[in-house]
């Protein structure tokens, strides 16, 4: 089968800070790595620029697609794998496809919670859940400081959230809120929120002024701030935020295992993670990247984070979704 090959184009409008991040060259291992990528073109192009600088002898062939479709393809190809590396999906999703992934411990030092069991996957980025507020739509309401503020009846119909049955990020938000506030908290939230089918509708509709606030991911809200929409605010809830890390993994039986490992190490490096962050605002799993210097975002260490057991979140998915369905039906 033919594989689409993306040219390593220069798209990164980088900063001096990113340019100064050094990449320690790995032992030469010329070849090709086939990367199945569900990330957007900005992320892919930023990565390929770094690969071209750090390893000009390494050719990367990129096959783009949706996360679920690519993982099912890897599963279908298990007897004769076509992919060397997959990028990216949430940790619970990667765990579900663990049988088609190969353990590999990256040479790049990452936080312990950004590496899967036995190195089965490696952290790529971390989604931080925030409140995205359009202050032109507050209409006399105070800026929310935390999740519980959205339970106030004054917010009825003014808060939008994705459908957790269709969106992994929306499920991470609902699961975290359930851990914090229990069923009663979800009941209060359900009375006020508007549920939209796609998580992308959340940040788009808040940015367009259709809603005063949305429950979304840091990177999607930051894109509007960086784009000059001064009315958009990111609120890191006082009770604490939830994290939803995503990872990348070498494919079991990869046709080019050494090239796959080499590419993964580059992808985890300071330089690649900084470049991808500057292109997409997706917070890096590599905590040496200074997101404050690059974008003015708070350091993860300075945020109050509610610990979420990703394995438990995966196990409890059907039960929590059933509770959410019940409380939203009752709120109609």
| Tens-digit pLDDT profile for residues 93-112 | 898 899 999 999 999 999 99
| pLDDT surpasses 70 at 29 | no
pLDDT for 27: 38
Mean pLDDT in the chain? 90
Q: Kindly state the average pLDDT of the residues 120-128.
A: 97
Domains of the chain: 16-126+245-297 (3.40.190.10), 127-242+301-331 (3.40.190.10)
pLDDT for 332: 87
pLDDT for 314: 83
| pLDDT surpasses 80 at 83 | yes
- Residue 128 Ramachandran class (φ > 0 left, ψ -120 to 50 alpha, else beta): beta
Distance of CA 237 to the CA centre of its chain: 19
| pLDDT surpasses 90 at 208 | yes
Residue-wise pLDDT tens digits, 276-314: 999 999 999 999 999 999 999 999 999 999 998 888 888
pLDDT for 198: 86
Of residues 317 and 74, the one with the higher pLDDT is 74
Check residue 203 and report its DSSP letter: H
Q: How confident is the model at residue 19 (pLDDT cuts 50, 70, 90)?
A: very low
Say how far apart CA 211 and CA 193 lie, in whole Å.
Answer: 10
Say how far apart CA 109 and CA 104 lie, in whole Å.
Answer: 13
E strand or H helix at 165: none
Are 33 and 262 spatial neighbours (Cβ–Cβ below 8 Å)?
yes
Q: Kindly state the average pLDDT of the residues 190-205.
A: 95
Q: How confident is the model at residue 20 (pLDDT cuts 50, 70, 90)?
A: very low
Max Cα distance, the chain (Å) = 62
| pLDDT surpasses 50 at 215 | yes
| pLDDT surpasses 90 at 205 | yes
Spatial CB neighbours of 12, under 8 Å, sequence gap ≥ 6: 18, 45, 46, 49, 275, 278, 279
The candidate with the shortest Cα–Cα distance to 282, out of 131, 170, 125, 172, is 125
In Å, how far are 76, 82, 217 from 282, measured between CA atoms?
30, 28, 9
Say how far apart CA 210 and CA 194 lie, in whole Å.
Answer: 11
User: Residue 66's CB: how many other CB atoms inside 10 A?
Assistant: 9
Say how far apart CA 141 and CA 31 lie, in whole Å.
Answer: 58
Say how far apart CA 113 and CA 63 lie, in whole Å.
Answer: 28
Q: Helix axis angle, 41-54 relative to 257-268, nearest 10°?
A: 110
pLDDT for 10: 28
Say how far apart CA 306 and CA 164 lie, in whole Å.
Answer: 19
Are 160 and 221 spatial neighbours (Cβ–Cβ below 8 Å)?
no
Say how far apart CA 165 and CA 322 lie, in whole Å.
Answer: 10
What are the backbone angles phi and psi of residue 40, rounded to the nearest 5°?
Answer: -75, 170
pLDDT for 93: 86
Are 169 and 199 spatial neighbours (Cβ–Cβ below 8 Å)?
yes
Say how far apart CA 332 and CA 326 lie, in whole Å.
Answer: 10
């Amino acid at each position: 089968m033919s594989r689409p090959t993306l040219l390593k184009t220069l798209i990164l409008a980088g900063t001096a800070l990113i340019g100064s991040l050094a990449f320690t060259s790995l032992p030469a291992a010329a070849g090709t790595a086939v990367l199945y990528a569900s990330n957007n073109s900005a992320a892919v192009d930023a990565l390929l620029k770094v690969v071209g600088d750090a390893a000009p002898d390494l050719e990367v062939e990129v096959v783009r697609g949706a996360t679920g479709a690519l993982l099912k393809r890897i599963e279908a190809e298990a007897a004769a794998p076509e992919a060397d590396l997959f990028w990216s999906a949430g940790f619970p999703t990667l765990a579900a496809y663990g049988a088609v992934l190969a353990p590999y411990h990256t040479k790049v030092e990452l936080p312990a919670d950004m590496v899967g069991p036995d190195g089965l996957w490696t952290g790529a980025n971390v989604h931080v859940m925030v409140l995205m507020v359009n202050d032109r739509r507050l209409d006399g309401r105070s800026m929310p400081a935390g999740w519980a503020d959205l339970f106030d009846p004054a917010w009825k119909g003014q808060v939008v959230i994705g459908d957790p049955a269709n969106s992994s990020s929306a499920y991470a938000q609902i699961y975290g809120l359930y851990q914090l506030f229990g069923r009663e908290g979800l009941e209060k939230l359900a009375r006020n929120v508007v549920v939209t089918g796609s998580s992308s509708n959340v940040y788009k509709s808040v940015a367009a002024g259709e809603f005063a606030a949305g429950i979304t991911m840091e990177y999607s809200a930051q894109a509007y701030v960086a784009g000059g929409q001064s009315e958009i605010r990111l609120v890191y809830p006082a009770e604490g935020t939830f994290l939803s890390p995503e990872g990348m993994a070498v494919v079991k039986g990869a046709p080019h295992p050494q090239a796959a490992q080499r590419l993964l190490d580059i992808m985890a490096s300071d330089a690649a993670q900084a470049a991808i962050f500057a292109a997409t605002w997706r917070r890096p799993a590599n905590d040496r990247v200074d997101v404050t210097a690059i974008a003015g975002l708070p350091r993860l260490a300075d945020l109050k984070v509610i610990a979420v057991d990703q394995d438990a979140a995966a196990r409890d998915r059907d039960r929590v979704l059933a509770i959410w369905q019940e409380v939203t039906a009752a709120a109609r």
